[in-house]
Amino acid sequence: MKAMIFETFGTTPTIEEVPDPTPSTTGVVVRVLASGLCLSDWHGWHGHDPDIRLPHVPGHELVGEITEVGRDVNRFKAGDRITVPFVSGCGKCEWCKSGNPQICDTQFQPGFTAWGSFAEFVALEYADNNLVKLPDTLSSVDAASLGCRFITSFRAIADQAELKKDEWIAVYGCGGVGLSAIMIAKALGARVIAIDIDNDTLDLAGKLGADQAINASNCHVVEAVQDLTKGGAHVSVDALGSKETCVNSIKSLRKQGRHIQIGLMAGADYLPEIPMHLVIANELKLIGSHGMQAFRYAAIFDLLEKNLINPSLLVSKCISLSEAIQPLVEMGNFGQKGIMVIDKFSS
C-alpha cells in the first residue's frame, strides 16, 4: 500500500510503498476513505509524542471501510463504514470500566502508538470497544472532520466544562479545535467570544457562530474579554496550546469560572506559569480534556440530525495523500484556516 512515512523527526515525509497491515485478534483493518490533517500530527512529526517509534506513518482523524476483521471481533464486519476516537481504550482496565477509555493506561492511538491513517489502509486495535458506525447521511469527509478536533472540543465543552445556555465562553485560538469549539458552544446556546490574531480567521469564526471577536494582536485581550462579559467568561478554552493563551484564558474568567485546556502544550510552551493566586482567590477550576469516548458520538450525531452543527463548514480543502506533505510540514506556522482532509490515497 501507499503511505506517508518519515524516518526521522522533523525531516520531510515521503510517499512510499509499505506492507499492508493485518488485524490483531481484537482489531480490524480498514481501507481509509478520508483522513484529516491535525496539529497533533505536526507535533508527532516533530517528536513531541514519546509513544512514536520510527519509522512512522502519521494520521488519526480517519474514516474507513472495514476490509478485514480479527477472530475475536463481534460487533463489526467487513463493509462497515466506521470512525474511531483517536484515543481507544482497552476495555478491561479500571478507567475503561468506569466509562473513561480516553484515559486508559494501555490506550491505542492510530498515528501515535501505531502507524496511522495517512495511508491506503490502517489497522485499528480494540475494535469492539471503540469503533463507531457512521450514519449513511454523513459523508466520509465530514465525518473525518469530526475527529479529533471536533470530538475533543465537544467533550471538553459539553462534558468537562458543562457549558450552560447563555453562559459566556471565550475561545483562544481559532484553528480547527477553536472553530469546532465555537460551533459546539453556539449549538449549546452559549454566548461565544472568538480570539485570534488573524482577521480572516475571526471572520470565519463569526460565520460559525461567534457572537464577538477579539484580535489579540491589537488590544489587551484579557481586559477586552472582561469588558465584553461584564466580569469575565464563565468558561474559557485554550484551543491553541501556548503559555500566553493558557495564562490569558485563566485570567479571562469570572469568579468560579472554568478553564479548559485542549491545546497541547509542547516544546517551549510545555510548562506555563499558572496564576495560582487567581485560581485560589477566585475559586477557578482548571480542567484538562483528552479525547472523547466512542459512546458520546451519539450526542454529536443528534446535533447533526437537528442541523445544529454543520462540520462541512470546517473543511477548507480536500487533497490527495501526496499533496498533504507540505501542509503537514507547514502546520506549525498556523496559516491554515479550517480543516484539510485527505480523500485520495492511491494516486
Q: For each of the domains in the chain, give its residue range(s) and CATH number, in order of start.
A: 2-134+310-344 (3.90.180.10), 150-288 (3.40.50.720)
Residues 105-118 have pLDDT tens digits of: 999 999 999 999 99
Q: Average pLDDT of the chain?
A: 95
pLDDT at position 212 is 98
pLDDT confidence tier of residue 340, bands split at 50, 70 and 90: very high
pLDDT at position 127 is 98
pLDDT at position 149 is 87
pLDDT at position 188 is 97
pLDDT confidence tier of residue 39, bands split at 50, 70 and 90: confident
Buried b vs exposed e over 91-127: b needs ≥16 C-beta within 10 Å?
bebebbeeeebbebeebbbbbbbbbbbbbbbbbbbbb
Mean pLDDT of 248-264: 97
Mean pLDDT of 15-29: 97
pLDDT confidence tier of residue 332, bands split at 50, 70 and 90: confident
Residue 129 has pLDDT above 70, yes or no: yes
pLDDT confidence tier of residue 291, bands split at 50, 70 and 90: very high
Residues 165-211 have pLDDT tens digits of: 999 999 999 988 999 999 999 999 999 999 999 999 999 999 999 99
Q: What percent of the chain has pLDDT over 90?
A: 91
Q: Would the pTM count as exceeding 0.95?
A: no
pLDDT confidence tier of residue 347, bands split at 50, 70 and 90: low
pLDDT confidence tier of residue 337, bands split at 50, 70 and 90: confident
